[in-house]
Structure formats: structure tokens, C-alpha cells
Amino acid sequence: MQHGHEGLEGKDGLSLLGDVPLVAETPEECLDDETTPVGRFFVRNNGLLPEPATDAEGWTFTIDGEVERPLNLTVSELKSRFPHKTFRMVLECGGNGRSFFEPKAEGNPWTNGGVGCAEWTGVSLGDVLREAGLKNSALFTGHFGADPDKSGSFEQQAMSRGVPIAKALEEHTLLVWAMNGEPLPFIHGGPLRLIVPGWPGSLSQKWLKRIWIRDREHDGPGMTGLSYRLPVRPLAPGQDGKDVETRIIESMPVRSIVTAPADGSRHPVGTRTIDIRGAAWAGDDEVARVEVTLDGGATWTEAAMTPPRNRYDWTRWQASLPLPGDGPYEIFARATDTQGRAQPFRAANWNPNGYGCNVMHRVAVTVGQEA
């Protein structure tokens, strides 16, 4: 933890990746809880921090555009007028895994720690959109927050992304005011944020002020050029990506992490079994299985999985593997989703901004040898 860093107070063990904007990731071994504590939840900003709200209940946000009845609602009105929902759901940065691309891609050098799985409480955005009355012309959302851009200007949004209406209407797409049963912390977008599960975290606008319903794909910052977009056809590693056809990143790829043992851990002489556990998730899909290997993939052992609590929850898994003797070992974990897509050994699908890398997590451990 970078102690004393403004904005990271109360955070436990995070690695600072950037100051302006403030970005910090969570080491995999700190993601060993079924529900990620607020103190261990990653931090990602695209601009500077806004002024904290003085009246959380009175915070207002607007739904306008292609609707019959534009709404201007306070957090208090959201709480009183719509059914409350609580789901435990993964939130993951679109660039999670970026540092594993070769050659290096642009952006924050995430390893596997741009992810967390918290309990989010709020109301379904779909319930509020139905109250506003979507016109037939409603195709896409545009999200707007209170944060200024990196220069401190409010003229241009730091980040403004959006989703097709079908995703906005999903029950699990929430307007959130609480995290793990407590008021949503300011650093995580309190008093009100959007949670769009399974898709890049940049869609889950913090300090939410407005949702603009549009008759076309949203074109705010983070939606055009190469931002949060992937090439439609493969690029050669290092290719600049100019003038290539791209698509918006929607569902995030399948991924697993080993949360115990920690990378670099040492185990006593004569240890003959190693207990391994972790988490796996798969964007809009589900995790079909998780397998682990100690011999570079020559043999695989299927892990036992704990069923997720609800859609978009991560799947916790564990396995016990025999060790043939003392020495160094490398653990690899591989998740496969319900579409049959598995994680690769090497980073595939290179792209200039480094999105969607879901290479297998590798953990090195040593049994019974001196350093």
C-alpha cells in the first residue's frame, strides 16, 4: 500500500499504478475473500476526483433524451420509488491483464488485479427507464458523471460511455448507492454510480449525474477511435491499429486467478500436498470449469467450484494437488466458459490499447529449498 496517498485512505495492500488519474490494483492474494472488502477493491479513475457530495440523499441525476417523461431524481426518491436489489457482482477494468501483452500496449500496466466482486445495492436501471418511458427510437445510453477531466476542466467529460438498450434493461444493471451493505464510498463513485456487470468497468459511471437515451450509438469520450474497442480482425503484435475496423468491447473474456498460495510463497520440507484456491468469472457467460496444472500443462486437475450466488458473481474454486517432491513449482489456472472458450498460456489478440488479455495466471512456489 502506498500509505498516505490522497484518495487511497483505508485501502489495504493495493499497488499504485498511476497518480493522475488515480489508479491502483489489488494483488491476487488480496482477492481471497468471497466478497471483496472495500479496503481491497481496486481503484480506477479517468479524470480528477469531483467535490464530495455534502447531501448524499439529495444527490440528483437525470434521465433524458429518447424518453416520454424525462426524470430528475434524488437518491432518496430512487430509494422510495423503486424495488431495491442486492447482487454480488464482478466489476473489472477493460484493461485488466494489459501488462502481459508483448510488445507492451498503451495504458495502465494492470496485471490481474483490476477486478473485485462486491455486493452492490440499488435499483435496476431498467425499472427507472420503464418509468421514463422509452421511445421506439431509443437505441443506446450515454453516461455522465460529476468528475472533471485530467486537466480539471468540466467542459469535457473525463469518460462518457454507453450501452445498447438491451444491456441497460438487464435486471442486474443497477443504479447503486451501497457497497457491501454500507453507503457507497466516495472513491467508488458515491453517492450514486452505475454498475453494468460483465462488461468493461468504464461503463459503470461513478458520481452519476445523467443518463442520456440516444437514437444512435453513443460517441462520448471512451467510445471512439481505439478507446475500449477491439480490432475486428487480428493485428500483428505491435501494429498501430490505425484505420482498422474495430468493435466496442462488450462481454469481458473468461478469466481465473489463484488467490492462494501467493506467488513466491515457500512451503516446508516434505510438503506433499498443496491446496490451491481462487476465483473465476466470464463476462456475460458462466464458468464451466476451472483446471490447474503443476507440470506446465502436461496434466490438468479439475477444481471444485462453489456455485455463484447470482448471475455475474464470481465462481470460487479450490483444488488439492499432490507434490512429487521438494523443489520449485509453477501453478497455472485455466478457466473455460460455457461457450467452450478457455484461457490461453500466452497473451493472444494483441491490440494497441491492451484490452481483453485473459492469459492464464501463473504462480511460482517453492517447497523445501533454501532461497
Question: Which pLDDT value is given to residue 4?
Answer: 42
Question: Which pLDDT value is given to residue 370?
Answer: 65
Question: Which pLDDT value is given to residue 99?
Answer: 97
Ramachandran category for residue 176: left, alpha or beta (phi over 0 → left; psi -120 to 50 → alpha): beta
**For residue 5, pLDDT beyond 80:** no
Grouping H, G, I as helix, E, B as strand and the rest as coil, residue 254 is coil
How does the average pLDDT of the chain come out, rounded?
Answer: 96
Query: pLDDT tens across 71-96, in order?
Result: 999 999 999 999 999 999 999 999 99
Tell me whether residue 3 is in a domain.
Answer: no
How many structural domains does the chain have?
Answer: 2
Query: pLDDT tens across 225-261, in order?
Result: 999 999 999 999 999 888 899 999 999 999 999 999 9
Whether residue 232 sits in one domain with residue 162: yes
**For residue 371, pLDDT beyond 60:** no
Question: Which pLDDT value is given to residue 7?
Answer: 74
- Which of the two residues, 359 and 153, has the higher pLDDT score? 359
**For residue 196, pLDDT beyond 90:** yes
User: Which of 99-103, 147-151, 202-206, 278-282 is predicted least confidently?
Assistant: 147-151
- Under the banding of pLDDT at 50, 70 and 90, the label for residue 294 is very high
Tell me whether residue 292 is in a domain.
Answer: yes
**For residue 10, pLDDT beyond 70:** yes
Tell me whether residue 282 is in a domain.
Answer: yes
Whether residue 145 sits in one domain with residue 117: yes
Question: Which pLDDT value is given to residue 2?
Answer: 36
Q: What is the pTM of this model?
A: 0.96
Rounded distance, CA 73 to CA 91, Å? 25
Tell me whether residue 119 is in a domain.
Answer: yes
Cis peptide preceding 103, ω within 30 of 0? yes
Whether residue 220 sits in one domain with residue 91: yes
CB 88 within 8 A of CB 309: yes
- Under the banding of pLDDT at 50, 70 and 90, the label for residue 8 is confident
- Under the banding of pLDDT at 50, 70 and 90, the label for residue 156 is confident
Domain boundary among 189, 217, 248: 248
| 309-325 mean pLDDT | 97
| 267-276 mean pLDDT | 97
Ramachandran category for residue 58: left, alpha or beta (phi over 0 → left; psi -120 to 50 → alpha): alpha
Residue labelled with grid coordinates 462488450: 250
**For residue 6, pLDDT beyond 70:** no
Residues 6+ apart with CB under 8 A from 213: 63, 64, 65, 66, 67, 129, 132, 134, 135, 138, 140, 141, 142, 165
What CATH number has the domain bearing residue 187? 3.90.420.10
**For residue 272, pLDDT beyond 50:** yes
Structural domain of 307: 255-367
CB 215 within 8 A of CB 164: no
What CATH number has the domain bearing residue 286? 2.60.40.650
| 306-325 mean pLDDT | 97
Domain boundary among 205, 233, 248: 248
Whether residue 283 sits in one domain with residue 351: yes
Query: pLDDT tens across 92-149, in order?
Result: 999 999 999 999 999 999 999 999 999 999 999 999 999 999 999 999 999 999 999 9
| 314-336 mean pLDDT | 97
Percent of the chain with pLDDT over 90: 94
